[in-house]
Amino acid sequence: MSLLYIYILLVTACVDSAESLVNVSAPVGSTVLLPCKLTEVFNHTSLIQWQINNKGLVFERSSAGTSSGSGYEGRVDIPLDELHKGNCSLVLKNVRITDDHLYKTFTVEHVDSTNPTEAKEIARVSLSVDDETRSSLEDSDSHQTGGNNWIICGGCVLDMAEFLCVFNLHLLFGVISLNLLQIISADLLSVDPGQNITLLCNITNYSEISWYHMNSTGLRQFTSAIQGKLDKHFYVDHNENKSHFALTQSSSSVSLVIIGVRETDLGFYYCGGRNEELHTEFGKPIGLNFTGSSDNERDSSSEDSDSHQTGGTGNIWITNLIVICVISLNLLQIISADLLSVDPGQNITLLCNITNYSEISWYHMNSTDVRKLILAKQRKLDKHFYVDHNENKSHFALTQSSSSVSLVIIGVRETDLGFYYCGGRNEELHTEFGKPIGLNFTGQ
């Protein structure tokens, strides 16, 4: 099964209407997600129930507790925290050939043994069990250990060991929705292969402007400019490829010119600004992809050899192909990350996998923005790091490990979830980023 096919299935199945029949297939021994969305708020008088063909109980949950049907004990669950968010999806583990059924979800309000109200159907899912199909996406860099688990969502199978055990249902919906929101908030631009394009930076009044590129392999800084103190003009301080990237000054900021766009240039771009010792502020993300092959798109793009930003998402980007391609990029970014889980209010330490830099910073990316949280600099004499900037001293701390710096999050809260990067640099050199770390809450 191709990656594109998997992503199409993932998006369409997971957001399908609750009233429609959703078809899901899963191999024997896998863990499958049967999607469901509540139409009303789940409260202390509510009961949610999954059944087989309107008669056999699979699983039910209320404020009083849970109950599993015969043969489903220990294999099914609806996380309570997800129910309160309107997500009534059923997690079915260790799929058996006998699980091949039509499943229905019902809600009942004001449950009383003497006066029950009528059940309301809200979802139908047809599960097809296959004991031979094995489609997988391997994460060769995964640090998790355990058994041979699979993730299935709306007909797609992701062979990522322990992914569901570590992150469960909350991660699957939370991280994907995070990246979908990141896509929605970005300015999306299209370009023909080999064409030049200019990306505008929407932050101003910084003496140092850098440009960053994020794709499925990671995040990197590839060019930067510093403003002269006298004439206030910017000059290039670092450029990883002078024949491929150029900078132009516009007002009090710096735009990026990509010369002869190629496939490796596709992805998300961020400009970041900082003043001397202050932390970095990032601008709005810009998504870059190739245009479609239609004649209309090619005719419109041939009018100007240099494409420019026109203030948001143009009509050319309202196509399923572009959206799916960008989604696939972000799902690959998820797969390549080290994934960690934590309980709300718990402390957690994130290790930085880059060393031998005199300046280490930690960055946080979520659905709203990218920001620098904390910065440490190394003393020249004793080689110990000291904190130069901390956005929130009561919430973030640094610990030195070997020749790098780890981030400690004190009392993790919902706003801390997302992706973390550590970045290192030596004096005037560009920033190198470590492997991303995905953080989410554990299941209840």
Q: Indicate the helix (H) or strand (E) that contains 175.
A: helix 163-185
DSSP 201: -
pTM of the model: 0.42
pLDDT band of 425, cuts 50, 70, 90 = confident
**Measured CA angle at 256 (ends 255, 262), to 5 deg:** 155
Q: What pLDDT is stored for residue 58 in this prediction?
A: 92
Calculate the average pLDDT of the chain. Answer: 72
pLDDT over threshold 90, residue 400: no
State the sign of the Cα–Cα–Cα–Cα dihedral 9, 10, 16, 21.
positive
pLDDT, one tens digit per residue, over 93-132 is 888 988 888 988 888 765 454 554 567 888 888 888 876 4
pLDDT, one tens digit per residue, over 366-388 is 866 778 899 998 888 888 888 98
**Backbone phi, psi, residue 262, to 5°:** -125, 175
pLDDT over threshold 60, residue 40: yes
Q: What pLDDT is stored for residue 401 in this prediction?
A: 66
CA end-to-end span of the chain, whole Å?
A: 33
pLDDT over threshold 90, residue 244: yes
Q: What pLDDT is stored for residue 20 in this prediction?
A: 66
How many CA atoms, within 13 angstroms, populate the side-chain half-sphere of residue 230?
Answer: 0
pLDDT over threshold 90, residue 357: no
pLDDT band of 428, cuts 50, 70, 90 = low
DSSP 118: P
- Rounded Cα distance, 33 and 92, in Å: 6
pLDDT band of 149, cuts 50, 70, 90 = very low
Kindly report which listed range (43-52, 157-166, 228-237, 328-337) carries the lowest average pLDDT score.
157-166
pLDDT over threshold 50, residue 147: no
pLDDT over threshold 50, residue 427: yes
